[in-house]
Structure 1
Amino acid sequence: MTLPPHSSKAFAPKPFHWPNGARTAVVVTCLLENWSGDNGPPFSVQTTSLKPGTHDRAAMTWGYYGTRNGVWRLLKILNEHHAPSTFVANARSMEIAPDAVECILKSGHEVAAHSYTQDALMAYLKPDEERAMVEKCIGVFEKLTGAPPKGWLSPVLAPTASTEEIIADAGFLWYGDYNNIDLPFCVDTKKGMLVALPHTDFADHRVLRANPRDWFEVYKDTFDYLYENEPTSYLNITVHCHFGGRPLMAAQVDRILKYIRGFPGAWIVRHDELAQWIKDNRIAEWTNQKRFFDRQA
């Protein structure tokens, strides 16, 4: 089979495979979020909108559930299933719940950066403001964990054209603001290398006012398809501590982890550990693309 023209890059891709014969890499993303001041998320389970300018206390308290209760329930479920995961945290959430951060790390999970608050969006900032925001978050991590974060995911996946290089320049290992890729790979920026990690198309908020079982069915069907049809596939399972940590959603998190644990070729792995493997093996984007051409040849 003739490969596309851009295959003439100056490297020969190694056959792509996950370690230890794994068939599907599964990462679990738990978003630990808070909003600035007495604000809350611009959405909630409530369907009645308040008059413009009215403080939405229900939304505020709904958002605070994550640091108060949700993070603890998700930790319990993850630990019971021996599922190493990544908590992507607003730095403000870490300041509010330092005991949860300590427990996350002691349980063997990763904590990654997610701006300072959930409404501190990178898309609204100039490059120098973005750098200051990243440095502020790193400072919180160093104070509370003793080390800088290895990964960054922007709130609502709203980066700018500068964010990727700012993250690379700050020394991060992985960066997750990608909606156009299926598999992780190394990205060479002007400021250094990053590992690109795909995000999800179906976080728990998709069933906010629907049946939580739909969330389970989507991830079950997706996992089944990838496991059956695409060796060396990747699945990102995403929940928010303030919603996914509530019993009605946490029950589905428990179900999907129990289901996936029944497959010997499922590799449940932290974002940073997966990213380090990608970096150590210099997995490039073309390596990932080549597996599809090889299968169709």
Structure 2
Amino acid sequence: MTLPPYSSKQAAAREFDWPNGARIAVVVTCLWENWSGDKGPPFSVQTTSLKPGTHDRAAMTWGTYGTRNGVWRLLKILDEHQAPSTFVANAQSMEFSPEAVDQILKSGHEIAAHSYTQDALMAYLKPDEERAMVEKCVAVFQKLTGAPPKGWLSPVLAPTADTEEIIAEAGFLWYGDYNNIDLPFCVDTRKGMLVALPHTDFADHRVLRANPRDWFEVYKDTFDYLYANEPAAYLNITVHCHFGGRPLMAAQVDRILRYIRGFPGIWLVRHDELAQWIKDNKIGEWTSQQRFFKRPA
């Protein structure tokens, strides 16, 4: 099978090790989301089967939990573990709670852009509309944080063929809409360089209907495998404020942070700090073939 090409020229690959001999880089992604109007997440635990056109207040109120409560609980847990993280935020979520914005920054975390609302998908937009959406989000960041965001992750990782270059042209440091990479690396686009950051294949909404402990087990098992078998590995632990900020899931966030903190050689790092290191060291893609099956000299 032929893999789909990137839309941009990739930087030349070379091997690398994490700073200070770290065995694994771990990033924590906290998705801070909201939906427009009276909409809510279509996949929430409280989504109900209603007649078309019926207002689903259960889903709508479920989706507002992240801003009202979840973001604060996750901040408490992250601070208790001294775990730097990146809050990937819909700009409207930030407008709803500038107090949370202030506390996230005060606690030493990054805030990255995630469109304006969770249902404002880039995949639905034309290039000029995408640019306008990015500009709208940047303006919110400038107003509430005093600086533009350094990172962009599209809602549901649904970009267009133009999004990568639009993000580069806007001056972002890192971009996360990649589903076919294992490690971060520099990508040269026609509009400038970006650092590509891998996302995750597993988020908290997949287990909340069943057993929240499964979320912990998935990340624990993945961490254990990478730590034991793949030096200079990378793990993105992802949680939603409106899902993972609830006590039954937050307990698992507390567990996984406590667990990985018990190992030496862990680089627990924010997305922007990791991306800046990748850029400063001009790291190109290091594929699994190159990592595991090196050609003889």
TM interval, shorter chain, is: over 0.9
Q: Cα distance 1:80–1:38, how it changes in 2: closer, same or farther (>3 A)?
A: same
Measure how far apart 1:234 and its partner are. Answer: 0.4
1:13-162 mapped onto 2 (5 Å cutoff):
14-46=14-46, 48-162=48-162
d(CA) in 1 for partners of 2:203, 2:193: 28
Number of residues of Structure 1 aligned to a counterpart in Structure 2:
289
* Per-residue deviation, 1:265: 1.3
Equivalent pair of 1:87/1:112 in contact (CA under 8 Å): yes
Mind listing any 5+ residue stretches in structure 1 that lack a counterpart? 1-8
Q: Say if 1:175 and 1:195, in contact at 8 Å, map to a contact too.
A: yes
Residue 235 of structure 2 corresponds to: 235
Check conservation: 1:109, 1:270, Cα contact below 8 A.
Answer: yes
Which piece of structure 1 moves more, 244-253 or 49-58? 49-58
TM-score, scaled relative to structure 1:
0.94
CA distance in 1: counterparts of 2:15 and 2:132, whole angstroms: 40
Paired residues of 1:63 and 1:242 also in contact (CA < 8 A): yes
Q: Counterpart in 2 of 1:185?
A: 185
- Residue 47 of structure 1: how far off its partner (Å): 6.2
Preserved CA contact (<8 Å) 2:112 2:152: yes
Q: Is the 8 A contact 2:70 2:245 kept in 1?
A: yes
Q: Give 1:292 shift.
A: 2.3
How high is the TM-score relative to the length of structure 2?
A: 0.94
1:173 has 2:170 as partner: no
Contact persistence 1:174–1:272 (CA under 8 A):
yes
Supply the distance in 1 between the matched residues of 2:171 and 2:32 (Cα, whole angstroms): 22
Structure 2 portions without partners, runs of 5+ = 1-8
Q: Distance in 1 between matches of 2:155 and 2:31?
A: 10
For 2:238 and 2:296, locate their aligned partners in 1 and report how far apart those are by CA, in whole Å: 31
Say what the alpha-carbon RMSD is for the aligned residues.
Answer: 1.9
Q: Deviations over 1:86-110 (max 9, x none)?
A: 0000000000010000000010000
Q: Take 2:75 and 2:55, find their aligned partners in 1: how far apart are those partners? A: 31
Q: Flag as ranges the 4+ runs of structure 1 deviating above 6 A.
A: none
Cα distance 1:215–1:136, how it changes in 2: closer, same or farther (>3 A)?
Answer: same
Cα distance in structure 2, aligned partners of 1:167 and 1:293: 34
Q: Is the Cα contact below 8 Å between 2:45 and 2:209 reproduced in 1? A: yes
- Partner Cα distance (2:288, 2:193) in 1: 17
Give the whole-Å Cα distance in 2 for the aligned partners of 1:282 and 1:53: 52
Q: For 2:12 and 2:52, how far apart are their aligned partners in 1?
A: 58
1:224 equivalent in alignment to 2:194:
no
Amino-acid identity (%): 88
- 2:13–2:285 Cα contact (<8 Å) kept: no
